[in-house]
Each structure stands twice: as structure tokens, then as C-alpha cells.
């Protein structure tokens, strides 16, 4: 392993802990999205409501897999387990499906425009970095 990747245990703990917090926020967003009541959906702005109503079950499943894999990968990273790499890989693949699917089958582009691409770009970047880091810290 290159010397630059030899972080002290405390640094690794903070990186893995931050990854876990980030992915728990994603899990919270997922739970909030799937637990919206019909009244809450009706109260959404029209563009957001259209995206919510156009989202198929397989896209919601991809969201669940993305955040679930991220949480498991982060726990594995904290424990320095090799399976963290697989969990982050599944998470990243599910994230790609979720983002691509969202743009292909829902009116998310009309709802958010070009500015709406910032969050998916950030999510993908973090996903790639976490997978890269896990590969180097667990092998």
C-alpha cells in the first residue's frame, strides 16, 4: 500500500464515521420519501409531486439499495472488513441506476433543470471516493 494511504487509526475512524453519518442521512431521506402520506404528497409543489407520482417501484428499490449499501459499507469500513468494498460497489451501482432512471422515467429534469444535476454529481463523487477509499483501506 502506498505510504500516502497509511493513515493513523484516528484519521480512518473519522473518515469512516463521516461516511456512516453521510449514508445515514441518505437513509433518513429514503425513509422520509417512502413514508409520505397522501396528504403530504398533495401538499408538495406541483413539480415535486409529479416526480414523486411518476417514480416506479424499481426506482425506489434502487434508492433503498443505494442507501442500504452505503450504510453497510460504512459500517464495514469502520470495522475494516473487506466486504465493505462490495457493499460500496452495490451502493454505487444502485445510485447510477437511481439517477439515470430518475432522469429517464420521471419529470425530474423539468422539475429541477440543470441546477438539479449538482446533487447527483455530488452523490456520485462521494460514492466513487468511498469505494476507492474502502478498496485501499480493507485490502
Alpha-carbon dihedral sign for residues 27, 28, 30, 31: positive
pLDDT at 5: 52
Phi then psi for residue 126, to 5 deg, are: -65, -40
List the grid coordinates of 84: 465493505
Count of other CB atoms within 10 angstroms of residue 131: 20
* String of DSSP letters for 55-82: --HHHHHHHHHHHHHHHHHHHHHHTT-T
Encode the chain (139 residues) as per-residue pLDDT tens digits. 454 555 678 899 999 999 999 999 999 999 999 999 999 999 999 999 999 999 999 999 999 999 999 999 999 999 999 999 999 999 999 999 999 999 999 999 888 888 889 999 999 999 999 999 999 987 6
The single-letter DSSP state of residue 7 is -
The single-letter DSSP state of residue 113 is T
Amino acid at each position: 500500500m502506498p505510504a500516502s494511504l497509511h493513515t493513523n487509526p484516528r484519521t480512518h475512524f473519522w473518515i469512516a464515521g463521516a461516511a456512516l453519518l453521510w449514508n445515514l442521512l441518505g437513509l433518513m431521506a429514503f425513509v422520509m420519501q417512502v413514508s409520505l402520506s397522501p396528504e403530504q404528497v398533495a401538499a408538495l409543489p406541483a413539480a415535486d409531486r409529479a416526480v414523486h407520482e411518476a417514480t416506479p417501484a424499481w426506482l425506489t428499490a434502487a434508492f433503498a439499495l443505494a442507501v442500504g449499501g452505503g450504510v453497510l459499507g460504512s459500517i464495514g469500513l469502520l470495522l475494516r472488513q473487506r466486504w465493505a468494498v462490495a457493499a460500496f460497489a452495490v451502493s454505487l451501482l444502485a445510485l447510477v441506476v437511481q439517477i439515470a432512471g430518475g432522469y429517464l422515467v420521471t419529470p425530474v429534469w423539468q422539475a429541477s433543470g440543470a441546477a438539479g444535476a449538482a446533487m447527483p454529481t455530488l452523490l456520485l463523487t462521494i460514492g466513487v471516493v468511498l469505494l476507492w477509499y474502502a478498496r485501499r483501506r480493507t485490502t
